[in-house]
Chains A and B, each alone.
Chain A
């Protein structure tokens, strides 16, 4: 697509006069509330206009046209499903950075190396210069006081580029868990400030395929130690552990369930696994009497963990939306250029109808993902249903989109050289991540009272 050729905005230079201040791209709570943020950098409007040329993705933002806000008009417009102007600016900043430094070639080259899976330079630019690491952290704790809606927009863009950065583990899972823990605890508050500033990277030590409503995980034991606790045990397929400095670990202590902070440098072994998804690292994490600090005990550990996994599943829907968007855009472009039988293959109805159906899935996935993000941002009691709907729906759309991308690229889609496989691998792994569609449907059935068949049913 044309993205690679986009002019890089001059304004997003690594000008040090910027970094002394608050990171520029992330909207603050105040900006969000007023609906007018500072342009993340000069030239933002020009680039927004450029993006307007994209047939499927370039509509003007709602806020710029005076769109409905939460609690606005009387009728059932209570959950805002559009993107605000500030969110579009944030998207623009992330998209520009990724267009520049996270092209398909960049990502592919990294997959071949067998070396570091993640681009930590890119991660630092995102986390520090653009400020995405602190989006959902309150301003009082050193973050930007934005919400799940803004985090979701970043997830879309990262999904669109299958960006190899530890955003899910650090910004979504670990940070969310910490925010629900005891933020009056100085260690927690300090850690949140460092995570928000991008100085530290974390993750939540659960197997990535754990659904939000699963039983509390038991592989790690916590015992009292001279200072605090020590944890011992092994957890497999933990996302982003290889990039993490600090680990949030669910463990069982003498008094029951707890969440613990563990420094990844101390008595912890992180062994990267060969993963289906080439762009998200998973690892086996082994603790051997590792020093641990408890941040949640039997009273609330299970609630905090479930909340973090629910937020993760809800926001993953936006990543899946981004994956599907790339697959559709790329495939539409390809079938318009590729000629067989003397005409572009995109002129055949057999192809057109499949892509139109895919677009339909995307339109639906966008509504579901935005709904989940908005409901999460508002801490709405509808969260559990919204997340189950969004995750079961968007997971399926992303896999379908990636499978269609491979098929409609023909032989090219089967090659290592073409990036379609990166999206297929991410989409398929995301389908398992934080609960399969089946897990979410089963949970939904429970939530909305659709009881299962009786034991002797056909």
Chain B
């Protein structure tokens, strides 16, 4: 991955022009931006574009691509300066896939032309991104995916025609671009026949349908691709190199997990503890013991998160991120189950089964029943807990891998 400039310890760097980029210099540049584009009188998008062009979007990115080749840790200096002046931000929560996955992939594997074309509107939020990876027949075993991309004609730079079905795609209905992995060679073993593309979601042959979940709402979509034409200049990385590029994307997904520091009793445990305090009549000995254990687990997870962040800040990230995700999923599931039980008759109800098409999860805003159901996804999305346990066992503990029957078999000959 290219994006390893990231973690603390470094207090400054030399920019391409020989100027030392430290916190003071970033404050100066932020003020300069604010002087040139007063947030009070400048349109939101104009301000964001100007910020990008000033290299203050993501300071760790290269000069000319929204950054200044500065240490990532210094971004906070810029953010604080601009926030204090009431400047608009790019609403990062609504463009997480773009910022967290598409951008580093484009930066790491894209051509200069692709970086120049995609990164600016990605960062400003003008163009939303989604991710076309999973398929009905390829979940944990992503490399087995069956969506086909074939050359239209015989030229070495001819367009590609893509046909297949993708699933669990958030933001597909609002996205302009998608990260797409498709099979370009079915005659080689599965990992080797994949190629990575940027897919125009407005192109002919792209059909997006909401996918309703057990909660009633539709956070995700199914995407049907029928002879979708993708120009070769929208290929990311080499033909057949798609697995390596996809690994890069997924690595960034894992880095994104870990989150920010939370206070004691922050999040769901605080809500459940308050429910417990407010409803003495519904307490039982069984729920008491479970609540206490889950309270301790929440506190310990919080400390693991703190420790992980301290390791990152010290430049020595450990593999604890995957532990966090595993622990988080189990804890949320147990705690949300307990919460329903603590509510007595109220736990028999449900707030709303209607199919909202949403891009964000209002986990703490909805009722206990919703939380119980939605938490079931925590051990499935972003890598199932079973797969993560394999990863921990093999990559952290160094245990031997499972014998593989699909390694040296052409994809087309695999049982499906």
A interface list, Cβ under 8 A from B = 55-56, 59-63, 65-68, 73, 75-77, 79-82, 328, 332, 335-336, 343-344, 346-349, 351-353, 355-357, 359-360, 363-368, 370-371, 389, 392-393, 441, 444-445, 448-454, 457-458
Complex contact B292–A450 (CB within 8 A) = yes
CB contacts (< 8 Å) of A348 on chain B: these are 402
Size band of the interface chain B makes with A: 35 or more
Q: Which of chain A's residues has its CB closest to B301's CB?
A: A364
Q: Is B277 an interface residue (CB 8 A)?
A: yes
Complex contact A367–B291 (CB within 8 A) = no
Q: Which of chain A's residues has its CB closest to B284's CB?
A: A458
Q: Which of chain B's residues has its CB closest to A440's CB?
A: B296
Complex contact A82–B307 (CB within 8 A) = yes
Complex contact A66–B299 (CB within 8 A) = no
Bound CA span A73–B11, Å: 13
Complex contact B303–A346 (CB within 8 A) = no
Bound CA span A348–B323, Å: 20
B265, B284, B287, B300: which contacts A364 (Cβ < 8 A)?
B300
Q: Which of chain B's residues has its CB closest to A453's CB?
A: B283
Q: Is B316 an interface residue (CB 8 A)?
A: yes
Bound CA span A18–B304, Å: 40
Bound CA span A389–B301, Å: 11
Smallest CB-CB A-B distances: 9 pairs: A67-B314, A352-B393, A76-B261, A367-B303, A453-B283, A356-B392, A81-B307, A62-B314, A356-B389
Complex contact B397–A68 (CB within 8 A) = no
Bound CA span A313–B299, Å: 18
CB contacts (< 8 Å) of B299 on chain A: these are 368, 389
Most interface-central of A63, A343, A359 (chain B CB within 10 A): A359
CB contacts (< 8 Å) of B397 on chain A: these are 55-56, 328, 332, 352, 355-356, 359
CB contacts (< 8 Å) of A355 on chain B: these are 393, 397, 399
Bound CA span A347–B390, Å: 10
- Within the complex, what minimum Cβ distance (angstroms) separates A345 from chain B? 9
Complex contact A452–B396 (CB within 8 A) = no
Q: Is B365 an interface residue (CB 8 A)?
A: no
B280, B295, B297, B310: which contacts A444 (Cβ < 8 A)?
B295
CB contacts (< 8 Å) of B306 on chain A: these are 76-77, 79, 81, 367
Complex contact A452–B283 (CB within 8 A) = yes
Most interface-central of B263, B327, B399 (chain A CB within 10 A): B399
Bound CA span A441–B388, Å: 30
CB contacts (< 8 Å) of B388 on chain A: these are 356
Bound CA span A67–B311, Å: 7
Q: Is B288 an interface residue (CB 8 A)?
A: yes
- 1/0 per residue B384-407: CB within 8 Å of A? 001011101110111111110000
Bound CA span A82–B291, Å: 29
Bound CA span A80–B261, Å: 14
Q: Is B253 an interface residue (CB 8 A)?
A: no
Complex contact A62–B310 (CB within 8 A) = yes
Complex contact A392–B296 (CB within 8 A) = yes
A-B contact pairs, 13 of them (CB 8 A): A55-B397, A56-B397, A65-B314, A82-B311, A344-B399, A347-B399, A347-B400, A353-B389, A364-B327, A367-B306, A453-B287, A453-B288, A457-B284
Complex contact B399–A450 (CB within 8 A) = no
Most interface-central of B265, B280, B310, B394 (chain A CB within 10 A): B310
User: Given A67-B314, A364-B304, A453-B284: A76 and B263 within 8 A (CB)?
Assistant: yes
CB contacts (< 8 Å) of B320 on chain A: these are 363
Given contacts A66-B8, A335-B399, A389-B300, 6 further A-B contacts (CB under 8 A): A77-B309, A332-B398, A356-B393, A450-B276, A450-B292, A458-B285
- Within the complex, what minimum Cβ distance (angstroms) separates B270 from chain A? 11
Q: Is B273 an interface residue (CB 8 A)?
A: yes
Complex contact A371–B303 (CB within 8 A) = yes
Bound CA span A389–B397, Å: 27
A80, A328, A349, A457: which contacts B283 (Cβ < 8 A)?
A457
CB contacts (< 8 Å) of A82 on chain B: these are 307, 310-311, 314
- 1/0 per residue B325-357: CB within 8 Å of A? 011000000000000000000000000000000
